[in-house]
Amino acid sequence: MLLVMNSGAKIKIILLSIALCLLSVLLITKSSIAAAGVNFYLDPSSVTVAQGENVTLTAKINSDSKDVDSVDIKLTYDESFLEFVSVDSSSSAFGVGVRETGGSGSVQITRGSLPPFVKGDAVIAKITFKAKSGSGPVNTNIEFTDPSIAVSEGKTLEVGAKSGTSINLGRNDNSNNNQNTQQGSNNNPDELISTEPFTPITVVPSDPTAPKLLDLFPKKVSFKNVTISWRTNVQATSVVEYGLTKQLGFNVSARELSTNHELSFEKALTKSGQKYYYRAKSVNQEGATTSSGIRYLYTRGYTAIIAVIGKDKNNLNGSEIIIDKGSDNERKTQLNNEAQATFNDLAPGDHVISLSVNGSEITQTIFIEDSLGIETGQDVADDAYVTPQYFRIEIENKKSNLLQLALLVIGVLVIASGGGLLVWKKYKNGGLRLPSFRLKRKNNIKDVQPTIIDNPPSNAASQKNDDDLDSLLERLPGDRINKPGNVIEPNKPEEQSDDTWE
């Protein structure tokens, strides 16, 4: 069957082929390119505050090398636990104020900058909240929410990570809430208490003559400074045992009798970004002892923001991601709807990230840089700002890769078939001369006598036939064909042999 194509069909085939190839290239490269964006975050990433006290957080932007001329951020908070107080923009890198509002569970700040524009890590504003009385103990979060945008030269930049603050609200001294109570602790001092690290607990001993431990919690936690606080219902001494394992191993104590107790870990023995176990103990004047179970905390460390790329973000929302799986420092969280997760208070050095995707576990090692020099003896303030460190985990989508390869192959085949049809049609219409090939035998070539055409026609009638013949011969493929009267060379030898041809 002969396929007849007009010029319009040819053009459509060529354009379709080019489009398919471009689509294939686009799909292949798209999965390996992660659009770089700006990052919003609050500093510090976690903080403990007592009821009735204020806490000030700094909203910041990290744009790397991009110029930013304006920002519009929105924060949300739980007004059951926190009360908005104020916005302070005196230290803002964006000198033009447009809007600063807060209350009813949200804060919105819009600011701009005149040239030179803001670049790199910069302060947007400081926001102050007050912990409501009667709200503790509880953990609550302040988060960035949409729309939170950054603009450069009239174009909205892509926002990467948005990292908020976790606030641990303690219980005030007048609280008699016994919700978190450890009963009979004297009988099981090695019990691991599963409550949140910053949630105050009350320890009621099985011995009625022993002191009660009230509101036991870590009052201060920084890079190398940890202070444990509690109260007793009677005068008693203070002891805190602590260590990197449940076997503890270190202790600090105070022999003075008191009802208010605060003891700090030895700074020289404390490392940043580590999980520490501890246990509190008090002895009254009669010698009766009360010990808490074993609690844990994390010293302040570095922040890592993990971004998963190469797969649809919606498919990863809620997926579990683990750091240092199987170790004492194992921590888990979930990917958000942007396929990102934040881990706070990490120690400098190597950490292993584990992520389960479609039944397969993907692991990747990341390295946390000691940018503040904490472990090399640098004097670092307890509230020093820690720049988040960003990491990517690339996931290969095998189904997508196969589809891309198939599209690429189809595009190439369509181009090849379309080109072949055009060449064949042109040849059939006589507009294409195919190259001729002459076979020559290496040896034993038998001479062939040329044929001489004698007596060529000379009259006017035959001249026209000669001209028509010349025109026809010029369109025929094969060896050179001379006009009548000349030698016509043969296309091949008269006899075949087994010799090699070239």
- Residue 302 reports pLDDT greater than 70: yes
Tell me the CB-side half-sphere exposure of residue 473, using CA atoms within 13 A.
Answer: 13
pLDDT class of 40 with cuts at 50, 70, 90: very high
Question: Residue 217: beta bridge partners?
Answer: 229
pLDDT at 31 over 70: no
pLDDT tens, residue by residue, 249-294:
899 999 999 999 999 999 888 899 999 999 999 999 999 999 988 9
293 neighbors 193 (Cβ within 8 angstroms): yes
pLDDT value, residue 410: 81
Residue 473 neighbours by CB under 8 Å, 6+ apart: 481
Instruction: Tell whether domain 181-298 is in CATH 2.60.40.10.
Output: yes
Measured over the CA atoms of residue 178, residue 180, residue 184 and residue 185, the dihedral's sign is negative
What is the arrangement of strands in the sheet containing 159-163, beginning at the earlier edge strand?
Answer: 82-88, 118-131, 54-68, 38-43, 159-163
Q: Assess contact for 313 and 228: CB atoms under 8 A.
A: no
The pLDDT tens digits of the residues spanning 316-358 come to 777 889 999 988 888 888 888 778 888 888 999 999 999 887 7
Instruction: Provide the CB-side half-sphere exposure for 495 (13 A, CA).
Output: 9
User: In this structure, what DSSP letter does residue 170 have?
Assistant: P
Q: Which residues are paired to 125 by β-bridges? A: 59
Question: Does 27 score more than 50 pLDDT?
Answer: no
Residue showing tokens 């988060």:
143
* Architecture of the structural domain at 38-168: Sandwich (2.60)
200 burial class (0-12, 13-18, 19+ CB within 10 angstroms)? buried
Rounded to an integer, what distance in angstroms lies between the CA atom of residue 257 and that of residue 195? 28
Closest residue by Cα to residue 226 from 236, 240, 237, 238: 240
Q: Which two three-digit tokens encode residue 234?
A: 């009677």
Spatial neighbors of 205 by CB under 8 A, at least 6 apart, are 184, 185, 186, 211, 212, 288, 290
Task: Say if CB 164 and CB 91 are below 8 A apart.
Answer: no
Tell me the pLDDT tens digit for each residue of 172-213: 444 444 445 555 444 466 677 766 777 788 888 888 899 999
